[in-house]
A and B are shown apart, each in its own frame.
Chain A
Amino acid sequence: MAPKPITSPVPESWYPTLSVVMLAIGLVITASFFIYEATSSRRTRSLAKELTTGALASFFLGFGSLFLLLASGVYV
């Protein structure tokens, strides 16, 4: 079997775009999370909704910041 060159799973030229898009989505969800935290009172708050919003936001923020690091040359 001939040696096969290994490339990154995502083309490197996508990193800046991916980073901007995912961070934007992440920040919007984060904003909605905090709006929900601030406006809902202790009785009306649902833990499941908080956790899902938080998980979704951290997923997008996590990948967004990873691609931000990669796009700015910090290859982790």
Chain B
Amino acid sequence: MRLVTLALAIALLTTPVLSDLILLKVDRRVDLTSHIVRITATLKVENGGSDLVSEILLAFPELQVNNLAYLTATTKEGKGKSKTSGAGLPIEVANPEGMPPALRFYSVSLPKPLSEGEILNLDVLAVFTHTLRPFPQEITQADIQLVVFQDSAHYLSPYAVKVQSLTVKLPESRLESYTKLENTKAQGLEIKYGPYENLAPFSYTPIAVHFETKHPFATAPEVVREIEISHWGNVQITEHYNIVHGGAKSKGEFSRLEYQARPQIRGASAFRHLVAKLPPRAHSIYYRDEIGNISTSNVWGDSKKTELLIEPRYPMFGGWRTAFTIGYGLPLQDFLFQSEGKRYLNITFGSPINELVIDNLTVKVVLPEGSQDFSVSTPFPVKQGQETKVSHLDVVGRPVIVLEKSNVVPEHNQYFQVYYKFNKLSMLREPFMLIFGFFSLFVACIVYMHVDLSISKSSPSYLAKLQWDEVRATIQQIESMINQCLTIHEKLEASLRDLSRTGDVQACKTARKTADNLLKEHSKELKPLISFLQSSPQAAHTLQKVEELLAKERELQDRLMAKHSTVVDCYERKFAGRDIEARVAPLQQKIVTLRQEVEDLLDYIDEI
């Protein structure tokens, strides 16, 4: 750090003033309450020259730039309570000539150029990671964790600064030491430097603050977020974490007993749990690592958010690592939209875990199979790639859009969009895969039943089987014929009942005629079947029963016809109902027993 200062001091003497801008007032607030350092600078810029100025340079020492994760500048319009902060202004890396070598520059493009004498208010937020250096670097379980923060008491800028001040906000009241300059005040949780007046460009006065922090130093060297879209109503998010406690390294032994008994003292530097803020209506949340589900987790939620508290298997001390996976499902309609023929996913980029620094974040967006024409729009630059993933019921695999970014802080939790085209019919791919699978099973069964798999086509057992198949088929045919005859009988009975109700003799006669015809046809068809059975040796033992069945059926038929003729005759002669019944009674009795016998025989043959 000393060297840098020296280099700067030398550089400062040789640098020309490049612009006519003057910073009237600079207020800087450094927030050290978490391990992510946030520096907010409020600049009041005046154009002191006569030329229009359309960009402002921000300077950072090279060492800081390596840890700079996020930089944004917003203008403040109006004054007092009606202040509105606009959207972030575009920021680019700039390399102006004739500048000191140990500095890096970013240029902020202003929404409209600044003319002579005009004043602009600018808010600059810079977020740094890995900036708090633990000192001592190794501590035991019982020690408290002390860290050092270094910066400049003066605002480093290529422009002259009229009035400036710096406020450092600390997490704990315990302050080990801090650089004392003129106008320095430490009060409670704050250290104030300044105000300092009329400083030349590139003024730099290093300060160091040495203080205690208990904040979880959760840093993740590697995080992979996978966002899988299913048009059947779900956005599934799976996040693989690899987390390290990035604070002072733990040395000596770890006593679980001491930790359990007095966690505030014997483990002040450790963190026990992490909190993830998931979107509202998240469901099917799980938390597991390589050896299975971790049951120490808790979920609660309301209409605005779902909070998930997860506790690793052990408290995290400095330098300890853990790896785990969390996953959850989100309702589709909250994140997927349609606009101008394209569908787009609108979801946050970063991890939902509070105050987590991610060194390398990979976000994979798995689109449904059959998506085309993808494009991504992100609020900050990311590295893009593409791969395919084969998942449930896929043929060619799903397109995956891979977005990579290093040094990610919670400020990067901004919405990004993935646009793609999708034909609705492609949704039917999955069901058709399943249908095809089941159908091929049925087809296999059909083929198996139809194909003759016997090797020797001339063996006696094979021939016997063929013959037996034929006999069985014939018997089945006979059975169905008999059944048809029985339904015809039913119809005749029905016509008799109609007759007794309506007295329409003519209708009854036509019914009889059609029944006669049908029965005649059936008996004609039955003849070849019977003769086949008689000729076949295989049918010998069933033949007797079949013949018996046929005989009984014939008899039943005859009786029924006789009954029918009698009743019709009686009606024509206008006999009384009681008379008819008396005449028919013996026939009726016989018919009932015969029908029973026919049905018994049918059942018997059916079982063969």
A75–B449 touching, CB < 8 Å: no
Q: How far is the CA of A53 from the CA of B439 in the complex (A)?
A: 10
Give the CA-CA distance A50 to B441 in the complex, in Å. 12
In residues 428-445 of chain B, which contact A (Cβ within 8 Å)?
Answer: 430-432, 434-439, 441-443, 445
Task: Decide yes or no whether B265 CB sits under 8 A from chain A.
Answer: no
Tell whether A35 is near chain B: CB-to-CB under 8 Å: no
Nearest CB in chain B: distance from A30 CB, A: 8
The answer to whether B337 touches A76 (Cβ under 8 A) is no
Q: Does B232 contact A (CB under 8 A)?
A: yes
A33 to B438: give the CA distance in the assembly, Å: 13
Contact with A along B499-528 (1 / 0, CB 8 A): 000000000000000000000000000000
Inter-chain CA distance A12–B470, complex, in Å, is 53
Q: Of the candidates B339, B436, B439, which one forms a contact with A3 in the assembled complex, judged by CB atoms under 8 Å apart?
A: B339
From A43, A51, A61, A73, give the contact of B446 (CB < 8 A).
A51
- Whether A3 contacts B435 by the Cβ 8 Å rule is no
Assembly CA distance A52 to B338 (angstroms): 39
Among A6, A37, A44, contact of B343 (Cβ-Cβ < 8 Å):
A6
Complex contact B393–A73 (CB within 8 A): no
The CA-CA distance from A2 to B336 in the complex, in Å, is 13
Report the bound CA distance from A20 to B333 in whole Å. Answer: 26
What is the total number of residues of chain B having a CB less than 8 Å from a CB of chain A? 45
Residue of B nearest to A37 (CB): B449
B233 beta carbon closer than 8 Å to chain A: yes
The answer to whether A41 and B469 touch across the interface, beta carbons within 8 angstroms, is yes
Q: Are B284 and A66 touching (Cβ within 8 A)?
A: no
- Closest B residue by C-beta to A66: B431
Interface residue B473 (Cβ < 8 Å from any Cβ of A): yes
Given contacts A33-B442, A41-B472, A75-B236, contact A8 B334 (CB under 8 A): no
Instruction: Count chain B CB atoms within 10 A of each CB in A3, A5, A10, A76 and give the residue with the most.
Output: A76
> Nearest chain-A residue to B333 (Cβ)?
A5
Which of B334, B339, B427, B434 is packed against the most chain A CB atoms within 10 Å? B434
A55 contact set on B, CB distance < 8 A: 439, 442
Min Cβ gap A50→B in Å is 5
Q: Is the CB of B337 within 8 A of A4?
A: yes
B476 at the interface (CB under 8 A from A): yes
Q: Does B491 make an interface contact (CB < 8 A)?
A: no
Binding site for A on B (CB under 8 A): 228, 230-234, 236, 284, 329, 332-334, 336-340, 343-344, 391-393, 427, 430-432, 434-439, 441-443, 445-446, 449-450, 469-470, 472-473, 476-477
With A33-B445, A75-B234 known, 11 other A-B pairs at CB within 8 A are: A2-B339, A3-B339, A5-B334, A37-B446, A54-B439, A58-B435, A62-B431, A62-B432, A62-B439, A65-B438, A76-B230
Give A contacts to B, CB under 8 Å: 1-10, 12, 26, 33-34, 37, 41-45, 47, 50-51, 53-55, 57-59, 61-63, 65-66, 69-70, 73-76
Complex A-B, nearest 9 residue pairs according to Cβ-Cβ distance, in ascending order: A54-B442, A62-B435, A8-B233, A58-B438, A75-B230, A62-B434, A58-B439, A3-B337, A75-B234
Chain A to chain B contacts (Cβ below 8 Å), 17 pairs: A1-B339, A2-B339, A3-B337, A3-B338, A7-B332, A41-B469, A42-B469, A44-B473, A51-B443, A54-B439, A54-B445, A58-B442, A62-B435, A66-B434, A70-B232, A75-B234, A76-B393
